Structure 1
Amino acid sequence: MSALSDQLTYRLYASGWAAVKRLPERTAYRLFERVADRAWAKRGKGVTRLERNLSRVLGPEATAEQVRALSKQAMRNYLRYWCDTFRLETWSRERVDSTFLIDGVEQMDEAIASGRGAVMALPHMGNWDHAGAWATGRYHGFTTVAERLKPERLFERFVAYRESIGMEVLPLTGGQNPFRGLMRRLKAGGMVCLVAERDLTDNGVPVQFFGETTKLPAGPASLAVATGAPLFPVTLWYEPGHQRALVHPAIEVPAEGTRAQKIAVMCQSLADVFAKGIAEHPADWHMLQRLWLVDLDPAKAPHE
């Protein structure tokens, strides 16, 4: 991407972000729903990839009409996520908390109160920024990792936004090893939150996910093994007027096996919980990218 193109991309993004915050709320959400419907109707690469992914969630018995109907709602929820995110800086603490309804929170409270820290692992569901804003208010901040975006100014804008609502954001690449920063937070008894069903490093752990092989990032399980902090899967979904979240029981570190074997077992357990949550709320899973190995590179797919 050229410097001129980078600058244009950033300016368009920044001006759009500012404009959405100033719009009347009902107008903003209606606009984003229309954008979602238009994108869905155009059937671009993101929409067709989303439908292929959702087809795996629904299974071979699903009809094309069922997949299309689900993908339309999924696009609306995806654009709702972006509208929420652009406007989140304007929300009061009372609104952040009152519109985020969470079950299982006592598990996280206990882990933090005990000084063990907690690792929260989430799929791309609902609005993880809203969840993060809620968590920063309850637990006085947490540490996460972010993929570097292009242009660099856009990445810096996202980091500044997330830091403004109480997150510590470590870049996945191009800086110090983020694992050390995550370990530091956990050893201090704090919280780490990671979006964790898509491997961005090509060093992930193979797992079975909706009947096909993909890779999960090893980070959440590795941190739990290294520090003793409990690993909690969290799934998110939208309901009218608010967002719901479920903190699932902690994934235990296996008593036997090498470090790599323990991490592999925990990653598969994490994939299983994610799959259950996604199957229950498939329209809230925002996966518009290739995920399974057979889609990324057929040559990498396992053979019987």
Structure 2
Amino acid sequence: MNEPLTSPSPSHIPAAGPHTPLDELLALLDLEPIEEDIFRGRTGRAVLVPRVFGGQVAAQALVAAGRTVPADRPPHSLHSYFLRPGDPAVPIVYTVDRIRDGGSFTTRRVVAVQHGQPIFHLSASFQRHEEGLEHQEAMPAAPAPETLPTAAETLRRYAPLLGGPGVVDRILDARSAVDLRYADEPPFGSVGEPREPKSQVWFRTNGKLADDPLLHICLATYVSDMTLLDSVLLAHGRGGWAVGDVVGASLDHAMWFHRPFRADEWLLYDQESPTSQGGRGLARGRIFTESGQLAVSVIQEGVIRIPRPGR
């Protein structure tokens, strides 16, 4: 490949006939070029809170950065801050700064803007493949994904707690491009019962993807923001934003991409929280391929507050 890496393009979407949820997600990640190094992205539907899903903003920003980088340099890390809630009613404009193009590494900075104000800031580094020292942590034990209930089966068990079947249907609709399965009970399944702040989910896209490495990395970035802070809630027996016993939002998000992987094949997302304090919770995750390769490391801090009466 001699062309630059690109985000999902209209060629991934059927020209006619019904579109799948994955087609719709790929179209959401297909940014519109406005000017050199400036792109516009559509926003998805708000589900439980009136803001754009953070994983979408992070994935779109990485798409924008990747469109300015040669194809032989996939991203190896990103560091980002969520600055303001995204407005789901208007598009997001992404501006890319070409910070550095070196012999082995390329650095890009992306600012996402709505209503004239930055809502998200990302720095991403890309690297040409090199041989080097190799080692990794062992993959933790986890049940096989095919043995686990689907997200629909898990969430519908807790429909009364989550606000009824209509709310569950909206959550499932928003996540329908991804097959995500909880290895154990999610936070809303053990409200009032603090337990070890560790959780696992398996995920893959609901459909096959093209071979573009950037596409798979951007989709993993999208999913990585869905469940990571759950481990913070488990330590305190809180059900989370879905049941309203905490309010919160992502503050920052960092990822390191270690080895090639496919987002349309099963990936184990192993998550834990080492600490929470000061209205913030820290969580870290490791994403493994089904064969045991450590593909991605993730760290995120989020605002997590207990709602106060009258506020």
- When normalised by structure 1's length, the TM-score is 0.26
Structure (1 or 2) with the greater helix fraction: 1
Of the two structures, which has the highest relative contact order with CA contacts closer than 8 Å and spacing of 6 or more? Answer: 1
Structure (1 or 2) with the greater strand fraction: 2
- When normalised by structure 2's length, the TM-score is 0.26
